[in-house]
Amino acid sequence: MILSDYVAAVLLLVGVFFFLAGTVGLVRFPDVYTRLHALTKSDNVGLGFVVMGLAVEAESWFVVGKLLLIWMLVLLAGASVAHLIARGATQRGVRMWTD
Amino acid sequence: MNASTALPLLILASSLLPGLVIFFLPESSIRIRTALNLFGAVTKLVLVAVMARGVLHGVDYEARMRLLPDLDLVLRADALSLLFVSLSSVLWLLTTVYAIGYLENSPHRSRFFGFFSLCVTATVGVAMAGNLITFLLFYELLTLTTYPLIVHRGTEVARLAGRSYLRYTIAGGALLLVGVVWLSTLFDTLEFAPGGFMAGTEAASRPGTLIVIFALLIAGLGVKAALVPLHGWLPKAMVAPAPVSALLHAVAVVKAGAFGIVRVVYDVYGIEFAANLGVTQPLVMVAAATILYASVRALFQDDLKRRLAYSTVSQVSYITLGIAMVGPIATIGGIVHIVHQGLMKIALFFCAGNLAETLDIHKVSDMDGVAHRMPWTMGAFTVGAFGMIGVPPLAGFISKWYLGTGALAAEQGWIVLVLVASSVLNAAYFLPIVHAAWFKTPKGKWQDKRDRQRLETRWMLLLPPMATALLVLAVGLLANMPLSPLEWARLITMTEYGP
Amino acid sequence: MSSVPLFALVGAGLFCIGLYALIVYAHLLRKILAINVMGSGVFLVLATLADRTVNAAPDPVPHAMIITGIVVAVATTAFALVLMLKVAEKTGRAELPDERTG
Amino acid sequence: MDRLTLVLWIFDSVTGLGLLLLAGWALASPQLFRGIILFVAFSLMMSIAWVRIDAPDVALAEIAIGAGLTGALLLAALSRLGDSEPTQESMNRPIERSYRARTFRSLTASLLAAVAVALVFLILALPGDSEGLGAEVAASLDASGVSSPVTAVLLNFRGYDTLLELLVLLLALLGVWSLGGLPAQPVSPAVLVLDTLARILIPVLLLSSAYLLWAGTHAPGGAFQAGAVLGAAGVLLSLAGWQVRQRYTGVTLRLLLIAGPSLFLAFALYTIVAGQSLLEYPPQRAGVMIVLLEVAATLSIGTTLAALFVAEGPRNKEGQ
Amino acid sequence: MEALAATVSWDACLIVLPLLGAIACFAWPNAAKKLALGTALAVLVSIASLTIRVTAAGAFRHAVGAWGAPLGIELLVDGLSLVMLSATAIVGLAITIYSAGYFKADVSSRFWPLWLFLWASLNALFLSSDIFNLYVALELTGLAAVTLTALAGSADALTAAARYLLVSLLGSLTYLLGVALVYHGFGSVDMAVLAGRVESTPVFWAAFSLMFVGLALKTALFPFHFWLPPAHASAPAPVSAALSGLVIKASFYILMRLWFEIVPADYSTFTNFLGVLGAAAVVWGGLQALRAKRLKLLIAYSTIMQVGYLFLAFPLAVAAAWRGALYLILSHALAKSAMFLAAGNILYCAGHDRIESLDRIAQRLPMSLAAFAVAGVSIMGLPPSGGFIAKWLMVEAALKSGQWWWAVTLVLGSLFAAAYVFKVVGYAFTQAEAPHTSIDVPAAMEWAALALAVAAVLMGLIAPWILASMEIGRAFPGAAIP
C-alpha cells in the first residue's frame, strides 16, 4: 500500500464523512429550507473530496479532467435546483421553521 | 371436361347462375327476371331429359372435385338420383310459373326468386350427390337457402317460424355432420354404392358404433323428413307464401330428408346389413307412428295449409315406411311414393294458394260452396285429395298397393292395418272439405268478389294445379308405361337388391 | 463474481412486486409505475445471468436486448401517460371503470 | 482476497435490498408524488446494480432514459393530472378497504409470493457458468466495423431489432399525436436561474451527446444513450420556457423525427435491391455506415423523446 | 426483370415496404391515402411472388445481415408463415380500401401511418424465427393496435384502449421473462438452434409457461379475455376488423410456432387444461354473444369463442387438428373482418348498431347484410365455407383420437354461432315501419365487406391447395393417422 493509496483513502473517508453529515442533516432538520441547505452544502464538499481522492488514483490526466467536469456540473445543478425548489416551496406557501 | 362430367354441373348451373343474376336485378325489371326464371327452368328440364336418355343408354355421368386431400365432391347420375332430379325440375318449372303469378306486385321479388333458384340448386345437388359429404354440403345449403324464403313476408310471425325452423334444421345438421365425420374416420370411402359400402369391411365388426352412427344420421335426416318428434317446424313454416310451402313440402326440403334416408339405408349401410344390424325395425315403428299421429293431428286443423302440412308429415313417412321394410315390393312402393306424393301434395298446395290469393280463404270452415266460384281449382283439389286417400286409378292407390303387398311379403301384417287406418284418416280430413266445397251453399264473406273475367283467377295461378292434377291422373293410369315412375322405381330396386 | 446471481433474484422479486401493484392498485399512474418496475425486474434477470461467463467479458447480446427493452419501455410509458391523461379528461377519473382490473 | 469479495457481497446485498424496498415504497406510497420521486431513486439505484454486473452501456441507458426521461414524463403527467383531478384523495388511495378487496389482495400477494419463490429456485437451477453468445460476438467483432461489442450487436448483428425499436419510438409519438396531443403547458414566468442553467447546460449536453455517440464505437455509449441526452436537452429547453419558433415545428420537425428510421429503411431497401440479405453491411465500409446510421438515429431519438415530453401534438404545426 | 424478380428477397420487401409507406404517410399527410393504397398493392405483389418462390423452391431461411443463426436474426419463410402472410395481405387490402371511404379527413391522416405500422409489424412477426425479435414485433403490434383503438376518441374507446395497453404490456413483459430464461438456459434465441438444444427440464417448462401466459394474455384466451370485447366493440370498424381478424391470431401463431419447433415432449395434462380453457371460452363466448345487445359487441364475443376453438387443437394433438386450427385461423380472419366491416357499414349509415332496431337499416344496406350473412355461414362452419373445412378437420381429429368430448364442444360451439348469427340475420328480413334518414354508404365499403365474405366461403372449395401449401417445409406434429 504505497503513499498515494493512503492519501486517496484519507480523502475518500473525509468525503464520505461529509456525505454522512448531509444525510443526517436531511433526516434531522425540520423543514424543507434547512434540509436543502444541509444537503447542497455538505454533499458538494463531500463530492469535492471524493473527486480529489479519485483523481489521485486516476491513471491519466484526461480522467482527472472528466472527474472535475463532473464535480463542476454537480455544483451547477445542485445550486440551481436547490434555488428552484426553494422558490417552488415559497410559492406554495411553505413557511420557514421557527421553534 | 367431356360431356359426361359437364352435364351434372350444367344442371346445377342452370338454376345457380340465373339465381345469382336475379339477386342483383332491380325490383322493377320484371320482364328480365321472369325470362331468366323460365329460361333456367326450361333448360334444366331439357338437360335432365338428355341425362335420362344417356343413363338409359348406359352412359356414366360423374363430375368429381377434390374437397379435401382424402375426400372428393362427387355429382353422379344414377337411377335413384335421376328420379328425384326429374321430379324437382318438373315441379320447379310449374312452381316458378305459379310464383310469378302469385307474387304479382309484392315487394322483394328479386330477393325471393334469387333464393328460390338457389334452393332448387341445392335440391338438385342433394339429388345428384355421389357421396355422403357432397350430400351433407347441399343438405346444409338447402337449410340456408330456404330460411330466407320462410321469413320472406317479414312479419314477426314469419321471423319466429324461421327461428324454429332453424333450431330444428341447424341442430339436425350438426348431428348429421358428426355422423358423417365419424363414418369418414371408420371407412376410407364415403361413396354411395348400390349394396352399401359397409358390408364385409373390418369396421363392420363394431355394431355398437354403427348403430349409434345410424341413429345420428337418421336423426339429422329425420328433421327434414319430418319424423314425429322432429316435425315441429313444418306446420309453423306454413306462414310462408304459397309457392314456398308448395316447393318446400312437395319437392325440396321434405323430400331431401326422405331421399337422404333412402341413400343412408340403401347406399351407405345396404338393406341386408342394416336389417341384421336391427336398425330397420325401429325405423318402421317410427314411420308408422308418424303416419298415425300426423293424420290424427290433421283432423283438428281448421287452417287449410296447416291441415295439408300435417298430411305431408304423414305422407312422407310412407316413403320411410316403404324403405325400412326389407323386401323389393315395399321398396318399390316407398320409392315411387316419392314422385306420387310430390305431385299430389303440390297440386293441393297450389289450390290452397289460389283460394288464399283470389278469395282470401284460409279456413276450411269458410270453404262451403267455393267450387261454384272456382270450379277448376276445386277440381284439381278433388283429384289431389282422392289421390291422397288412395282412390284406385290415381297415383296414391299404386303406392299404397305396393306398400301393402310389400308389408305382407315381409310378414309385417300390422303394417297393412296402419295403411288402412291412415287411408281412413285421410278420407276423414279430406272428404269433408271436398263435400263442403261442392255441395254446401256458399256462406263465406268471399261471395261479394264477383268473377270479372273469363277465368276464375290469373292463368298463371290456374295452369300449375291443372297440370299437376293431370300428372297425378296420368301417373296412376299409365303406371306400366316404360317411362313411368313405377317402372323407374322397379329399375332402382333391381339395382339395389342386385341379381 | 459471486456464484449466486443475487441481482437475478432481486429481478424476480421486482417482477412480482410490480405484478402485485399492477393487479391491486386502481390508479392508472400507479399501474404505469408498476409496469416500469416489472420491466426493470425482467431486465435485471436478463443482464445478471449474462454475467456468468468465467474470466471473460460478459455476454453483450443480453445488454443489447436490455437497451432495446428500455427504449421500448420509455416509448410505451410516454404513450400510456398521455392515454391516462385523456382517460382522466374524458371520464373525470384516471382509473378504469371497473375498479379492480385484472 | 476473500475480504474484498465479502465487502462486494455486502455491497451487492445492500443494493439488492435497497432496490426491493424502494420499489415497494414507490408503488405502495399513499401520495403519488412521493411514489414518483421514490421511483426515480429506484432507477438510480438500478444503475448502480447495472454497474455491479458489468453492464456499463445499460447503466448509461438506465440513467439517461430510465431515471431522467421517465421521471420527467411522470412528473409532467402528474402536474397535468393535478388540475383535472378534483381531489388529491382519489389519486393516492389504493382500492377500497372492503373485506372482499382485502381477501383478494392477500390472495394475490400469496400467489405472487409463490411465483417469486418458484422463479428464485429456477434461476438458481440454471448452470453456474455459461458462455452465452459472448464467444461468437468476439469472433466476428472485427468484421462488424466497431470494437464495442454491445454496439456491434445493437447495430450490426441484431440491427433488425434496432430498426423495429426505432419505429416503436416513432409509433409512440404518432400515438400521442393521434390522441390529439395535450393542451399546451402555461409558460412559467422567465426564471433567471433556470434560464442561466439552460444557457450553460444545453451546450454541455449537446457536447456530451456527441461524445457519447463517438465513444459508442469503442466503449460504452452509443446512439440510444446519446439520443437520450439530446432528449434531456430538449426537455430542459421546454422547461426553461423557450418557445421553439413556428418554422421549426413544421416540416423540419417531421424530417428530424423520421431521419433515423428512414435512413435505416433506405439502407434496408438498398440491400434488398442489391440482392444481398436484409441489412447486410459491406465489410470494409461497415464502420462508417454504422456511425452514419447512429448519428441519424441519435437525432431522431432525441427529437422524439423531447416531442414525447412536450406532447402538444402537431396542432401548432398546422397552426389550427 | 426476371433476374431482379429472382434475386429480390421478397420476404424482406414484405417488412420494409409497409414501413416505408408508413413513414411516407407520416411525412406527407395529405397524400396519405394514395400512398397507403400503393403500399397495399406493393405488398400484394410481394406476397404473390413470394408464394411462387416458396411453392417452387420450398421453405427457406433468410439470415438478416448475413450473420449466422445463433448470433444474428433469421427470417423463416415456410408454409405456415406464407399462409398467415397471405391472409394478412388479403384482409389488409380489403381494410385499406374500406378505410379510404370510412374515415373523415382529419382522422384519416392519422389513421394511415398507424395502420401501415400495424401491417408491417404483423408481417415482421409472421416471418421472424427469433423469439426476442418476436418480442419487439409483438410490442410494435400491440402499440399500433392500441393507438388505432384509441383513434375513435370516445370515452369508452379510450378506457378500452388503456386496459388493452396494460394487458398488452403485461403480456409482453411476461413473454420477455420467458425469453430471458430460455436464452440463459439454452444459449440462443433462434428457434431452429433452440429446437436442437432444448430438453424437457423444469427450467424449460417454467420458461415456456411464462411465455404461454404472456401470449395467452394477448390472444384473449378464456381467463384473460376481459379486455377484448370493449376494445373490439368501441374501436373504429376497420380497426376492429384488423384486431379480431389478424392481431389476435399473431400471438396464437407464435404459440403454434413454439409448440411445433421448441416444445420437446407432449405434456397431456397441460394440453387437456388448454382444451378445458378453450371449451370454457366457447361456451362463455357463445352465451355472451347471445345476450349482446349491440352488433359489434356480439361479433367481439364471437371472436372469444373462435379463439376457444383454436386452443382445442392442443389436446387433439393430431396433424389433422393443426391443419384444422390453421384453416380456422384463415377462414375466421376473412369472415370476422367481413362481419366487422359490415357492422361498420351499418354503424356508418344508421349511427347506432342496436340489434333490435336493425330492420330499418337492413332495407337500405342489402349488400352489407348479405356480407354479414355470408360471413356468418363461415363462422357457423356450414358447408361449403372455409369454416366448415376447419370444423370437419377438427371433428375428424377428435373422433380419430378418440376424444369425442372435444367434438361435442366443437358442435355445441357451431350451434351457438348459428344462434347468434341468425339472431342478427333474422332482423334483416323484418319490415321497416318508418325508414328514417341515413347517410348512404360509399360503394367501395360495401363491396369490400362482401368480397371478404365471399372469399371466406370460397376458401372451402380450394382446400387441397391451401392444405398442401400449409405444410411446406414443416409437417405438423402429431401422429399422421392414416
Secondary structure of B337-376 in HEC code, one letter for each residue: HHHHHHHHHHHHHHHHHHHHHHHCCCECHHHCCHHHHCHH
Asked if C17 and D20 touch (Cβ cutoff 8 Å), the reply is yes
Cell numbers linked to B447: 261471395
Three-state DSSP at A21 gives: helix
Task: Label residues E182-204 b or e (16+ Cβ within 10 Å = b).
Answer: bbbbbbbbbbbbbeeebeeeebb
Distance from CA of D201 to the nearest CA of E (A): 32
Please give the Cα distance from A73 to D204 (Å, whole number). 9
* Residue A62 within a domain: yes
Tell me the residues of chain D between 67 and 86 that have a Cβ less than 8 Å away from chain C. Answer: 69-70, 73-74, 76-78, 80-81, 84-86
CA pair distance B299, B290, nearest whole angstrom? 14
Structural contact between residues E198 and E150, judged by C-beta atoms closer than 8 angstroms: no
- Cα–Cα distances (Å) from D233 to A88, B281, B369, C79, in that order, read 22, 92, 102, 20
Give residue for cell 456499463: D56
Over residues A3-16, the pLDDT tens digits come to 888 999 999 999 99
Find cell 374507446 and name the residue.
E157
Report the length, in residues, of chain E.
Answer: 482
Chain E residues touching residue D119 (CB < 8 angstroms): 206
DSSP string, E262-303: T--S--HHHHHHHHHHHHHHHHHHHHHHHH-SBHHHHHHHHH
- Higher per-residue confidence, E465 vs C2: E465
Instruction: Give whichever of B111-120, B200-209, E356-365 has the largest mean pLDDT.
Output: B111-120
Closest CA to E279 of E405, E401, E397: E405
Question: Cα(B249)–Cα(B244) distance, rounded to whole angstroms?
Answer: 8
Beta bridge partners of D297: none
Q: Specify whether the CB–CB gap between B230 and B172 falls below 8 A.
A: yes
Nearest Cα neighbor of B14 from B47, B39, B48, B40 is B40
Residues of E in contact with D165 (CB under 8 A): 136
Which grid cell sits at E438?
341515413
Span E45-69, average pLDDT? 87
Is E461 in a helix, a strand, or coil?
A: helix
E340 Cβ neighbours under 8 A, 6+ residues apart: E232, E237, E238, E240, E241, E244, E245, E296, E299
Closest by alpha carbon to B214, among B163, B275, B160? B275
Domains in chain C: boundaries:
6-91
Q: What is the mean pLDDT of residues D124-131?
A: 78
pLDDT of E251 strictly over 90: yes
Q: Which three cell numbers stand for residue B67?
A: 374437397
pLDDT of res. E288: 92
Whether residue B287 has pLDDT greater than 80: yes
List, as ranges, residues 161-200 from E with C-beta within 8 Å of B.
none
B214-243 average pLDDT score: 89
Whether E221 has a pLDDT exceeding 70, the answer reads: yes
As for how many domains chain A has, the answer is 1
For a pLDDT cut of 70, what percent of chain B falls above it? Answer: 96
Chain E: closest CA distance from residue C51 (Å): 10
Q: Say if CB E186 and CB E164 are below 8 A apart.
A: no
Query: Quick check: is A8 in a domain?
Result: yes
The answer to whether D222 and D151 have CB atoms below 8 angstroms apart is yes
Residue D187's pLDDT is 61
Instruction: Give dist(CA B297, CA B294) in Å, integer.
Output: 5
What is the reported pLDDT for E479? Answer: 53
DSSP code at position B153: T
CA angle D150, D154, D155 (to 5 degrees): 120
Q: Which of E282, E363, E392 to mutate to test the interface with B (most CBs of B within 10 A)?
A: E392
Domain that holds residue A16: 3-91
CA triplet A10, A14, A18: central angle to 5 degrees?
165
For residue B465, pLDDT beyond 70: yes
pTM for this one? 0.91
**For residue B6, what pLDDT is reported?**
84
Q: Is the dihedral of CA E439, E443, E444, E448 positive or negative?
A: positive
Whether the per-residue pLDDT at B331 is higher than 70: the answer is: yes
Indicate the pLDDT class of residue E6, thresholds 50, 70 and 90.
Answer: low
Question: For residue D185, is pLDDT > 70?
Answer: no
CA dist B18 and D309 (Å) reads 64
Handedness of CA A55, A56, A59, A61 (dihedral sign): positive
* Nearest-10 Cα torsion for D299, D300, D303, D307: 180
Distance from CA of E130 to the nearest CA of B (A): 33
Amino acid at E384: P
**Domain presence at residue A38:** yes
Task: Please state which CATH class domain C6-91 belongs to.
Answer: mainly alpha
Q: What is the pLDDT of residues B387-429, one digit of tens each?
A: 888 888 888 888 888 888 888 888 878 888 888 898 899 899 8
Which SS3 state, helix, strand or coil, does residue B74 take?
Answer: strand
Higher pLDDT, E367 or C4: E367
Phi, psi angle pair for B200, to nearest 5°: 85, -10
Per-residue pLDDT reduced to its tens digit, E444-457: 888 999 999 999 99
pLDDT of residue E481: 46
Q: State chain A's maximal CA–CA distance in angstroms.
A: 55
Give the H/E segment covering residue B63. strand B62-68
Q: What residue in E sits closest to B176 (Cα-Cα)?
A: E411
Nearest alpha carbon to residue B35 among B97, B106, B124, B102: B97
**How many C-beta atoms surround the C-beta of residue B206 within 10 A?**
12
DSSP state at residue B303: B
B156 and chain E in contact, CB less than 8 A: yes
**E295-314 residue pLDDT tens:** 999 999 999 999 999 999 88
Task: Select the more confidently predicted residue: B456 or B130.
Answer: B130
Residue A47 domain-assigned?
Answer: yes
Residue appearing with cell numbers 306400366: B480
Q: How near does any CA of chain C get to the CA of D203, in Å?
A: 24
Longest Cα–Cα distance of chain D, Å, equals 69
Q: Which residues of chain D lie closer than 8 angstroms to E12, CB-CB?
A: 268, 271-272, 277-278
Mean pLDDT for back-to-back runs of 10 residues, chain A (99 residues)? 87 94 90 88 91 90 91 90 87 79
pLDDT band of residue E437 (cuts 50, 70, 90) is low
CA distance D284 to D306: 35
Say if residue C57's pLDDT is above 80: no
Query: CB-based contact (8 Å) between E26 and chain D?
Result: yes
CA distances from D115 to A75, C20, D122 (A): 45, 11, 10
Q: What is the pLDDT of residue D86?
A: 45
- Contact status of E203 with chain D (Cβ, < 8 Å): yes
Start-end of H helices in B225-252: 233-236, 242-246
Residue listed under C-alpha cell 363466448: E285
Answer whether D193 touches A (CB < 8 Å): yes
Cell of D115: 411465483
Q: How many CA atoms lie within 13 A of B101 on its CB side?
A: 21
Nearest CA-CA partner of E379 in E325, E339, E424: E339
> Which segments of E10-165 are extended strands (E)?
60-63, 74-77
Chain CA centroid to CA E438, Å: 32
Burial class for C53, CB neighbours closer than 10 Å (0-12, 13-18, 19+):
middle
The closest CB to that of E161, out of C19, C22, C83, belongs to C83
| Interchain CB contact of D289 with A (< 8 Å) | no
CB count within 10 Å of CB B137 equals 22
pLDDT at site D313: 65
**Residue E286 pLDDT class (50, 70, 90 cuts):** very high
Q: Quick check: D58 and D49 in contact, CB under 8 A?
A: no
pLDDT of residue D244: 66
Grid coordinates representing B190? Answer: 364415403
Q: Decide: B158 and B152 in contact? Cβ < 8 Å.
A: yes
Tens digits of per-residue pLDDT, E62-121?
888 888 778 888 999 988 899 999 999 999 999 999 999 888 888 888 899 999 999 999
Residue with cell 431489432: D161
- Distance in angstroms (rounded) separating the CA atoms of residues B426 and B431: 8
- What cell does B180 get? 358423417
Cis omega (within 30 of 0) on the bond before D30?
A: no
Cell 416444445 identifies what position? E263
Q: What mean pLDDT, rounded, does chain D reach?
A: 84
Q: Are B196 and B267 in contact (CB under 8 A)?
A: yes
CB contact under 8 A, D77 and C81: yes
- Per-residue pLDDT tens over the stretch C4-30: 788 899 999 999 999 999 988 888 999
Taking residues B462-475, report their average pLDDT. 87
End-to-end CA distance of chain E: 45
Highest mean pLDDT among D157-161, E102-106, E433-437: D157-161
Please state, in angstroms and as integers, the Cα–Cα distance from residue C85 to each residue in D1, D65, D82, D83, following that order: 54, 21, 10, 11
**What span, in angstroms and rounded, lies between the C-alpha atoms of B240 and B158?**
7
Residues of E whose CB is below 8 A from B67? 389, 460-461, 463-464
Query: Residue B68: helix, strand or coil by DSSP?
Result: strand
CB contact, 8 Å: D146 with chain C?
no
- Chain D touches chain C, with at least 3 Cβ pairs below 8 Å, answer yes
What integer is the mean pLDDT of D211-236? 90
